[in-house]
Structure 1
Amino acid sequence: MAAGDRRARPCRRRERFCRARRPAERGPSVRRGLMEFNLRHLRIFADVVATGSVTEAAARIGLSQPAVTQAVVRLEKQLGATLLDRGHRRVEPTPAGALFAARAERALARLTEAASAAGPRLAWTATSAQLAAFVALASTGRSTDAARALHIAQPTLHRAAAAIQKEATRPLMERTSRGFVPTRLGSALARAVQLAFAEMDQASMEVAELGARDVGRIAIGAMPLSRAVALPLAVARFRRSRPAITVRIVDGPYVELLDGLESGTLDFLVGALRNPPPSPDIEQEALFSDDLVIVCGPAHPLAGSVTVTRENILPYPFVVATAGTPTRQHFDRLVAGAPAGGPGLIESGSMIFMREMLLHSEHLGCVSRRQAEAEAKHGAMHVLPMALPGTERVIGLTTRRGWRPTRSQAELLDLVREIAAI
Structure 2
Amino acid sequence: MSQIPTLQQLRSRLRIRHLVLLDELGRSLNMHRAAEAMHLSQPALSKLLAEAEELAGQTLFERSHHGVTPTPLGLMMIGRARLLLNELDATHAELTAAASGASGKVRVGVFPVVAHLLAPLTVERLQASHPDLRIELREGLEQQLLPALRAGELDCIVGRLVVEGADADLQCEILYEEATAAVCGPSHPLAARSRLGGAELDRYRWVLPSRNAALYSLVASAVAARGAGFPQVAVESGAILTIVSLLQRTPLLSAMPLRVARSLAARGQLAILPLALQAKLHPVGIMTRRQARAAAAAELFLQTLRAAAQVVRDEAPLG
Q: TM-score, with normalisation over the residues of structure 1?
A: 0.59
Aligned to 1:248: 136
Quick one: distance in 2 between partners of 1:394 and 1:189? 34
Whether 1:154 aligns to 2:31 is: no
TM-superposed deviation, 1:335: 4.6
Higher helix share: 1
Whether 1:165 aligns to 2:49 is: yes
Matched residue type, 2:246? M
TM-superposed deviation, 1:127: 2.7
Whether 1:236 aligns to 2:236 is: no
Q: 1:405 aligns with which of 284, 287, 294?
A: 294
Helix, strand or coil for the counterpart of 1:283? strand
Structure 1 or 2, whichever has the larger Rg, is: 1
Change (3 A) 1:267 1:344: closer
Shift >6 Å, 4+ stretches: 173-177, 201-210, 337-340
Matched residue type, 1:237? R
Matched residue type, 1:191? G
**8 Å CA contact retained: 1:218, 1:248:** yes
1:149-171: CA deviations, max 9, x gaps? xxx95362785865553342324
Structure with the larger RCO, 1 or 2 (CA within 8 Å, 6+ apart)? 2
TM-superposed deviation, 1:176: 12
Helix, strand or coil for the counterpart of 1:319? strand
Whether 1:131 aligns to 2:16 is: no
Aligned to 1:283: 171
**8 Å CA contact retained: 2:223, 2:229:** no
Helix, strand or coil for the counterpart of 1:299? coil
TM-superposed deviation, 1:361: 1.3
Aligned to 1:360: 249
Aligned to 1:7: none
Change (3 A) 1:253 1:141: farther
Quick one: distance in 2 between partners of 1:259 and 1:175? 30
User: Map of 1:2-81 to 2, 5 A cutoff?
Assistant: none
Aligned to 1:381: 270
1:262-316: CA deviations, max 9, x gaps? 2211111100113643411111111111111111111211011123345532321
Q: 1:390 aligns with which of 279, 288, 299?
A: 279
Helix, strand or coil for the counterpart of 1:290? coil
Quick one: distance in 1 between partners of 2:145 and 2:118? 18
**8 Å CA contact retained: 1:225, 1:368:** yes
Q: TM-score, with normalisation over the residues of structure 2?
A: 0.76
Helix, strand or coil for the counterpart of 1:218? strand
How many residues were matched structurally? 296
TM-superposed deviation, 1:135: 2.3
TM-superposed deviation, 1:331: 2.6
Aligned to 2:208: 320
Matched residue type, 2:49? Q
Whether 1:269 aligns to 2:157 is: yes
Quick one: distance in 2 between partners of 1:331 and 1:404? 39
1:46-90: CA deviations, max 9, x gaps? xxxxxxxxxxxxxxxxxxxxxxxxxxxxxxxxxxxxxxxxxxxxx
TM-superposed deviation, 1:231: 1.0
Q: 1:420 aligns with which of 309, 314, 319?
A: 309
Quick one: distance in 1 between partners of 2:133 and 2:40? 31
Aligned to 1:94: none
Aligned to 1:196: 84
Quick one: distance in 2 between partners of 1:243 and 1:158? 47
TM-superposed deviation, 1:136: 5.1
Change (3 A) 1:283 1:133: same
Matched residue type, 1:239? Q
Q: 2:239 aligns with which of 350, 353, 359?
A: 350
TM-superposed deviation, 1:209: 12
Alignment gaps of 5+ in structure 2: 312-319
Matched residue type, 1:399? T
**8 Å CA contact retained: 2:181, 2:255:** yes
**8 Å CA contact retained: 2:24, 2:37:** no
TM-superposed deviation, 1:208: 11
Quick one: distance in 1 between partners of 2:122 and 2:116? 11
**8 Å CA contact retained: 1:220, 1:270:** yes
Matched residue type, 2:142? Y
